[in-house]
Amino acid sequence: MAILTREQILDAHDLKKIEVKVPEWGGSVFVKTLTATERDRFESAIYHHKTKIKIANVRARLAALAVIDEKGVRLFTPDDIVALGKKSATALDRVFQAACKLNKMTPDDVEELEKNSASIPAASSVLS
């Protein structure tokens, strides 16, 4: 494999999207790969140092980040999370599962993240 340059990495089109059929809603939605910043924000929102995971509206939170239109624009904002949380659990779980799989956030992936989090250096030491 070739060694990549900075420009090649920054110019790479690495964000995928998949179509997910949601019969409860009468159609399909696109679910996208989160950017690293979006995933960090999501994980920060659901992880608490004492209780581990805050699961309140976790499916709606991830759907709000991952569901996009044909052009790649998010359909929902953080203000929509409560309303999304009131939708069918079956439908929302279908979207959530697809987003988890696409973004490598399955239970096994989360367990690996928790194991590795103890060895992550403090932010101030990372690029200094």
Residue 67 has φ and ψ, to the nearest 5°, of -85, 125
> Domains of the chain, with CATH numbers?
15-109 (3.30.2220.20)
Span 110-117, mean pLDDT? 63
Token pair, residue 109, equals 């992936």
Q: Which helix (H) or strand (E) holds 42?
A: helix 36-46
* pLDDT tens sequence across 12-68: 999 999 999 999 999 999 999 999 999 988 888 887 665 666 677 899 999 999 999
- DSSP-based three-state secondary structure for 4: coil
Cα 103 to chain centroid, rounded: 6
pTM surpassing 0.85?
Answer: no
End-to-end CA distance of the chain: 29
The total number of residues written for the chain in this structure: 128
* pLDDT tens sequence across 53-98: 667 789 999 999 999 999 999 999 999 999 999 999 999 999 999 9
